[in-house]
Amino acid sequence: MSASPTATPAASATGVALRVEAARLLVAVLDEGRSLKAVLAERLPGLADPRDRGLLEAIVFAALRHERRYAFVLAHWLSKPLPMASAKDRNVARLLLVGLAQLDALGLPPHAAVAATVEAVKQLGREGLAGLFNAVLRKATREAWPAPAALAVSSSHPDWMLRRFAIDWPDRVEVLLAANNSEAPLWLRANAPRFSRAALAERWRAAGIASEPGLAADSLRLVERANPATLPGFAEGAFHVQDLAAQLAVEALDPRPGLRVLDACAAPGGKTLGLLAAVGATGEVLALDVDARRLERLRGLVVSLKPSEARFEARLADAGQPAGWHDGRGFDAILLDAPCSATGIIRRQPDIKVHRREDDVAALAALQAGLLDALFPLLRPGGRLLYATCSLLRTENDAQIAAFLGRTPAARGLPLDARFGFDTGHGSQRFPGEDGGDGFFYALLERRAEAPQVSPGAAGSSSTARKPPPAMR
């Protein structure tokens, strides 16, 4: 094995510290079971330089996207696994993932990546492993990597997820896997009607920032990634971050001015903003969520962006138990963005591949069914409910809706046009990467005009299992 490289400008103190922090973030996600979104929210703000934040985020995302393949490669190259007994051991072991991610997925200059990663080993107090790290990472730059025979390993997906994709979408498996491992674009929604998409795009163009409109009426995709807080209009509340597919959910429901609308699982609040804009000054929106912190952030978002003068209330409540919050008045429209497996947004949350378990799906499907049964009776006759998930699994999507329609004579499904994706027969499925958007499912349900409305106490009495598994939305 060759000697460890000496510190170079490429292995600056900042660069070494970033690699150490990346390893610690991976330990938090892979070994402590924490969500990537949560740990990034805690630790990214501590980095003053946006370039450092961007590099740290890119390394961690790449390592998680390809973790299973990297583990396979390391198992072939190491004579024995690195120890994982102590916190320091785990930080050091995860540094190898950091190194491979820089060389493979990110394509960073090998000398800089290797030097900074080896120096990080020393900073963690494992100087004796510096030579091993140097040899392994140099090997990664010079030799062909061992190729896994199993598709689940080469694509870094859990076996069960690949199996479900193969059952549900046999002609799309490899496309779905590749999309899940790709980088998601940055989508923004113009805060209409206060700010128009065209005016916002022109303002950015004048500042040298290129953008493209999407299928949703107020959507814009940045051609090159940027920190939204640095864009013209951010301080004025001219836009907010929201994926194309999530924006389309409000358009599928198509709420009109003056309507009373329920946003049943509302946080983080992007769809709530779209609903408020749609119903206008004469409308009313009630937003519910079971998480107090997320609901408070939603309130702050609505106050800062103020999309319309509509009556608005955000309430901490379990949407599946209407007896605890419903006042007896019917809703003209309900948006149910249901908790789900989140298999359609893996490119944005790659830790879903780590945290999600197959038995979560059955529990989530039961939760979704309970929410549908509880909320649909709260519609006024002729009212509409939009059921949406960010899942690719038919158990949570068209099979869920088929079962609901089978047990609910008062409900009927309504068609959606081609913007909303592939017609499954009981809803529309969008796949990750299509038109640049996330994977999403939509089903539009109407309450038959002749159907009687039930009392609030009768709905939701059989709802079960209110707390979903983590890292889903």
Which residues have a catalytic role annotated? 390
* Long-range contacts of the stretch 50-56 (C-beta < 8 A, 24+): 50/227, 50/230, 52/14, 52/18, 55/18, 56/18, 56/21, 56/22, 56/25
CA-nearest of 72, 64, 53 to 30 is 64
Q: Which tokens belong to 361?
A: 């799906």
The upper half-sphere exposure of residue 197, i.e. CA atoms within 13 Å in the direction of its Cβ, equals 15
Q: How many C-beta atoms lie closer than 10 Å to residue 14's C-beta? A: 13
> Quick one: CA torsion of 358, 69, 58, 91, rounded to 10 degrees?
90
Whether residue 377 has a cis bond before it, omega within 30° of 0: no
Helix orientation angle between 110-123 and 87-103, rounded to the nearest 10 degrees: 180
Residue 246 three-state SS: helix
Q: Do residues 338 and 371 make contact, with C-beta atoms less than 8 angstroms apart?
A: yes
Give one DSSP letter per residue of 45-77, joined into a string.
GG--SHHHHHHHHHHHHHHHHTHHHHHHHHHHH
Contacts of 245 (CB under 8 A, 6+ apart): 344, 390, 430, 437, 438, 439, 440
Name residue, tokens 């740290």. Answer: 56
**Measured in whole angstroms, how far is the alpha carbon of residue 246 from the centre of its chain?**
10
The number of helices, as runs of H, and strands, as runs of E, in the chain is: 17, 13
> From CA 271, how far away is CA 93, in angstroms rounded?
41
